[in-house]
Amino acid sequence: MKIRTVLLVVCALLLSVIPAVRAQDDVFRVAAVAPSATNDLAFSQSMFDALTLIDEEMGDAFEFVFQDGTFVVDDAAVALRDWAASGEYDLIIAHGSQYGAILEELAPEFPEVSFAWGTDVNTFGLENVYAYTAAAEEGGFINGVLAASISQSGVIGVVGPIEVGDAKAYIDGFQSGATYANPDVEVLVTYIQSFSDVPLATEAAAAHVANGADVLTGSAQMVVGPIAVAQENELAWFGTQSSQADLAAESGVSFQVYRWDVILRDMIENIGGGVLGGEAYVLTLENGGLEIQVSESLDEESASIVTETIAALTEGIVSGEIVVLPEDPMATPEAGS
Amino acid sequence: MIEEIFTASVFASTLRLATPYIFAAVGETFSQKSGVLNLGLEGVMLMGAFAAFYTVYATGSVIIGLLAALIVGALMGLATAFISVTLQAEQGISGIGIYLFGLGMSELLFVRLIGTPVSIDGFPRLYIPGFSDIPVIGEIFFNHNLLVYAAFLLVPIAAFILNRTTFGLMIRAVGQNPEAADAMGVNVARVRYMTVIIAGTLAGLAGASLSIALLNVFQQNLTSGLGFIAVALVYFGRWTPLGVLLGSLLFSFVNALQLQIGSIGVNIPSEFAVMAPYVITIIALVFASKRAEKPTALTKPFRRGD
């Protein structure tokens, strides 16, 4: 009886110690939580694609787990705490601005674990927290210029989720770019106050079409509805966050794609060197974190014009010649050039 | 300004938005009239939406897709009935279980069988010669797909069944006083099974109306809370198909209106505009509930001899 008790105590002690010991091998392990599905064609997929790319690059030296569909913050908190307590992960990513408060509370409890979160630039002054965001207004500006250039009616429809974060940045940039290309263009913007309400987003896009829009864009995972509206009405579609080329096969023109892998490589290197956080990253056109992809469905001539326009605008934005969001919320050709 | 807001497209949008609510809430009316609360409507809708979408994706036939949604809805209705009627589980809790099952299973199947959002050719808009071209009226009433018309046709049929048939009488009797109905020789369990299966079938149809008629895409959690609103609309509609229709139209109209207001740039904060349908529904619900004729035996399992 005594031996059994001693064994039980020893086992319990071992179990309590083991999780605190980080896996001692050469594998870099990442755990990530995200609010929507890994195939949402938007925000969560952009991170999943980036981790998959890193996984392919690093092979056996990299592993990741991804918990998607965790829109409920409390559920995410449980996962994040479990991962941190397990000691198995070199980097824990909270991919969503709604997770900031959790991370601010959690990170000080696990100073040996590196955390990253976004989209935001606030590391809370903690040395084990990285923050990241995307200058989505840059790609929004380019998409806006292209949209205004091809619109025959001079009316463009935008369907947004909630007026915050990178969605707002994209839409602000889009409006600015559209006005930059055509000061008389009318940009109709509806924020539906939901990231996931596809039926409502669909009707919002339909309302824009009824009001004369012949070009559509939008941000967040509910854009699958507006894309279907664009396809049905044979209108042009501009996307952001991830490539939506497959779904918008006939209507897609260009897509701003978040390349989180650019900053993840840097984080991995830093963590390997013992720097667990304290830095904020921003995806930009300049650092290659924002990539504007041209739809393969465009004919050769159109694709060439679009590609050239993207290159010229990218150069202007990177050099500072074009101010994407001037103090005046609507850029003008005079202000921008 | 008024002319810019109250356009024909707003009214057409109202009819489209109301379609899934009508299917789901009319079905739920049958279920609740017999005394069974089915809170799992949302999960059944998701499964119906996925079944229809995947079948159309695989076969290209919207008719087979529709049948798939009806069958899946009926099966989930059968499962709900088994849990609520035979096992006599607490209906609210078991309904949440059905919802979570539908949410998770539809997502799992979607990821495994399709993987990423794709579009399909769903029910086309019907062109009705002589009607579709009528200015304003044609755009509002005669420019929709088949399922939109089916939803509105369902309302008088459901009202007739509930109010003018023996089956309807049995449903009402079972919902008001199951003991008395049982004493009169009505098989309470059988009636409840039938109504819950009807509710499931129509919830499957509601899901199909989204995935293969109105949106023609599928995504995880496509219904986004629509099924729960449908349950509220049954209370709003005072357990009558006509009341459910009016509630669905009111909720959808305010939604369509706020989208139009947003689109034309009327300077109202989008948060207030989006809140409006829910606030108006809650206010209407408060007034409706005072005169409500709630089935007395709603949520109460029937045990012979109790």
pLDDT tens, A27-46? Answer: 999 999 999 889 899 999 99
What confidence tens digit (pLDDT) does each residue in A267-289 have?
999 999 999 999 999 999 999 99
- Is B144 an interface residue toward A (CB < 8 Å)? no
CB contact under 8 A, A207 and B259: yes
Q: Closest Cα of chain B to A214: distance in Å?
A: 13
Residue B37: DSSP 8-state? -
Q: What number is the average pLDDT over the span A175-186? A: 96
| Residue B13: inside a domain | yes
Lookup: tokens for B180: 């008395």
| Residue B214: inside a domain | yes
Interatomic CA distance for residues A107 and A86, integer angstroms: 14
Q: Is A37 in contact with B114 (CB distance < 8 Å)?
A: no
Number of Cβ pairs < 8 A linking chain A and chain B: 117
Contacts of B259 in chain A (CB under 8 A): 190, 192, 200, 203-204, 207
Among candidates A203, A221, A222 on the partner chain, residue whose Cβ is nearest the Cβ of B16: A203
Position B233 scores a pLDDT of 92
Interatomic CA distance for residues A180 and B198, integer angstroms: 56
- CA B84 to mean position of chain CA atoms: 20
Kindly report whether the peptide bond that precedes residue A119 is cis, defined as omega within 30 degrees of 0: yes
**How many Cβ atoms sit within 10 Å of the Cβ of residue A191?**
23
- Is A217 an interface residue toward B (CB < 8 Å)? no
Residue B83: DSSP 8-state? I
Position A331 scores a pLDDT of 46
In chain A, the residue whose alpha carbon lies closest to the alpha carbon of B252 is A200
| Residue B134: inside a domain | no
- Among residues A132, A90, A131, A128, the alpha carbon closest in space to that of A109 is found at A128
Residue with tokens 């509601």: B206
Contacts of A222 in chain B (CB under 8 A): 219
Contacts of B217 in chain A (CB under 8 A): 198, 224-225, 227-228, 247
Work out the percent of chain A whose per-residue pLDDT is above 70: 89
- Among residues B104, B286, B38, the alpha carbon closest in space to that of A68 is found at B104
What confidence tens digit (pLDDT) does each residue in A298-309 have?
999 999 999 999
CATH number, position B268:
1.10.3470
Is the pLDDT at B64 greater than 50? The verdict is yes
- CA A287 to mean position of chain CA atoms: 15
Helices (H), B114-142: 137-141
Q: How confident is residue B231, by pLDDT bands cut at 50, 70 and 90? A: very high
Q: Could you tell me the domains of chain A? A: 2-135+260-283 (3.40.50.2300), 136-257+290-336 (3.40.50.2300)
| Residue B137: inside a domain | no
Among candidates B9, B115, B274 on the partner chain, residue whose Cβ is nearest the Cβ of A207: B9
| Residue B101: inside a domain | yes
Chain B, residues 166-185, CB within 8 A of chain A, namely none
Interatomic CA distance for residues B254 and A297, integer angstroms: 38
Residue B300: DSSP 8-state? P
**How many Cβ atoms sit within 10 Å of the Cβ of residue B176?**
18
Q: How confident is residue A8, by pLDDT bands cut at 50, 70 and 90? A: low
- Is B18 an interface residue toward A (CB < 8 Å)? no
Specify the long-range contacts of residues B159-168, CB closer than 8 Å, at least 24 apart: B159/B240, B159/B241, B159/B242, B162/B29, B162/B30, B162/B33, B162/B240, B162/B241, B167/B191, B167/B194
- Is B119 an interface residue toward A (CB < 8 Å)? yes
Interatomic CA distance for residues B43 and B105, integer angstroms: 9
| Residue B126: inside a domain | no
What confidence tens digit (pLDDT) does each residue in A196-250 have?
899 999 999 999 999 999 999 999 999 999 999 999 999 999 999 999 999 998 9
Interatomic CA distance for residues A204 and B273, integer angstroms: 13
| Residue B61: inside a domain | yes
Q: Which residue has the higher pLDDT, B64 or A20?
A: B64
Q: What number is the average pLDDT over the span B191-197? A: 97
| Residue B174: inside a domain | yes
Q: Is B46 in contact with B221 (CB distance < 8 Å)?
A: yes
Interatomic CA distance for residues B161 and B169, integer angstroms: 9
Query: Pairing mode, if any, of strands A290-294 and A252-258?
Result: antiparallel
Q: What number is the average pLDDT over the span A163-169? A: 91
3-class DSSP assignment, residue A42: coil
Q: How confident is residue B3, by pLDDT bands cut at 50, 70 and 90? A: confident
Position B288 scores a pLDDT of 66
Give me the number of domains chain B comprises: 1
What confidence tens digit (pLDDT) does each residue in A62-100 have?
999 999 988 889 999 999 999 999 999 999 999 998 899
How many Cα neighbours within 13 Å face the side chain of A20? 8
Is the pLDDT at B188 greater than 80? The verdict is yes
Distance from first CA to last CA of chain A, Å, rounded? 85
Q: How confident is residue B287, by pLDDT bands cut at 50, 70 and 90? A: confident
Residues spanned by the domain of B70: 2-117+145-290
Interatomic CA distance for residues A11 and A4, integer angstroms: 10
